Amino acid sequence: MRKLLMLILMMIMVVSNGCSTKKTNNYVERPQEKYDNLIFVKGGTFKNVKSNFYGKDITVSSFYIGKYEVTQKEWIEIMGNNPSQFKGDNLPVEMVSWYDCIEYCNKRSIKEGLKPYYNIDKNKKEPNNKNAYDNIKWTVTINAEANGYRLPTEEEWEYAASGGQISKNYTYSGSNNADEVAWYWKNSGDKYLPGAWNWPMIKNNNDKTKSVGLKKTNELGIYDMSGNVREWCWNWYGNFGANSGTQRVWKGGGWLGDVSCCEVSFRGGYEPYCKGPDQGFRVCRNK
């Protein structure tokens, strides 16, 4: 009988601890890993010697970043539509513009009782946007102290992808062997493709996105930061730290691209209004 009572008491304690929450700032604080699929990234300077920011005395503050790329299921729950070319709940959402992702972040924040990170003025043209073909040009500013969802900065993305403070100096996010961690044009279809990049061969091989989380994680436990879909960042593309331009930064490479695009140091630019079947994103939140 005594053993039975002790067992019941232990079970009550486990359930109580597992269900505990903390309410702050008008929202319920929940265990990040279980509910939000966010990974905590401890801040600091860049340790990966292959990073663009190594040795430049740049310090990144601690933050949370998505364990996975935003999936189609997550997108549908917030936006009520699915723009993706390749359909599947657990596939990363694609065919989303930079503007789409900004709007998603705010709508998800509001739904979860968080303070939106972005101020979006759809009626005022962004003066820093120099793209002659961008007819959207929303003016987007930030609430730096907000706890809502946002896109990572280029520095944050590269810091997380390269392993943060526990980096092992990998070329790709989590390995020096791309095939262990990345989906790119050679391995994202029916068979492993030989030779040089070739679109007819890629198309005939049925290359496409893959369900998130199938490859190895990086040092921090984050999936698919190399390959699968290219990921939007907040920054303008151009010189590092530029505050204006015609394109926004993307990082990580994708199923359609070359393996070199999967390197943590690779940086690409894409017009913010454009969409592609290999263009997605992951979210961040402030610590």
Q: In 3-state terms, what secondary structure has residue 10?
A: helix
Taking phi first (over 0 means left), then psi (-120 to 50 degrees means alpha), and beta for anything else, what does residue 266 get?
beta
Q: What is the arithmetic mean of pLDDT over 148-166?
A: 98
pLDDT at 30: 39
DSSP string covering 211-269: -TT-S---TTS---SSBSSEEEEEEESSSTT-S-BS-EEEES--TTS-GGGGBTT--EE
Give the pLDDT band of residue 36 (cuts 50, 70, 90): low
Give the pLDDT band of residue 34 (cuts 50, 70, 90): very low
Evaluate if residue 27 carries a pLDDT over 50.
Answer: no
Give the pLDDT band of residue 5 (cuts 50, 70, 90): very low
> pLDDT (tens digit, 9 = 90+) per residue, 75-92?
999 999 999 999 999 999
pTM for the whole thing? 0.87
Q: In angstroms, rounded to a whole number, what is the distance separating the alpha carbons of residues 246 and 244?
A: 7
pLDDT greater at residue 54 or residue 1: 54
pLDDT at 241: 82
> pLDDT (tens digit, 9 = 90+) per residue, 62-77?
999 999 999 999 999 9
Q: What is the arithmetic mean of pLDDT over 14-24?
A: 36
> pLDDT (tens digit, 9 = 90+) per residue, 213-251?
999 999 999 999 999 999 999 999 988 888 899 999 999
Q: In angstroms, rounded to a whole number, what is the distance separating the alpha carbons of residues 164 and 146?
A: 23
Evaluate if residue 253 carries a pLDDT over 90.
Answer: yes
Q: In whole numbers, what is the pLDDT of the chain averaged over residues?
A: 90
Q: In angstroms, rounded to a whole number, what is the distance separating the alpha carbons of residues 68 and 269?
A: 22
Give the pLDDT band of residue 131 (cuts 50, 70, 90): very high
> pLDDT (tens digit, 9 = 90+) per residue, 107-117?
999 999 999 99
pLDDT at 16: 36
* pLDDT-above-90 percentage for the chain: 85
Q: What is the arithmetic mean of pLDDT over 262-280?
A: 98
Strands 230-236 and 279-280, sheet pairing: parallel
Sign of the Cα torsion 82, 83, 87, 93 reads negative
pLDDT greater at residue 172 or residue 14: 172
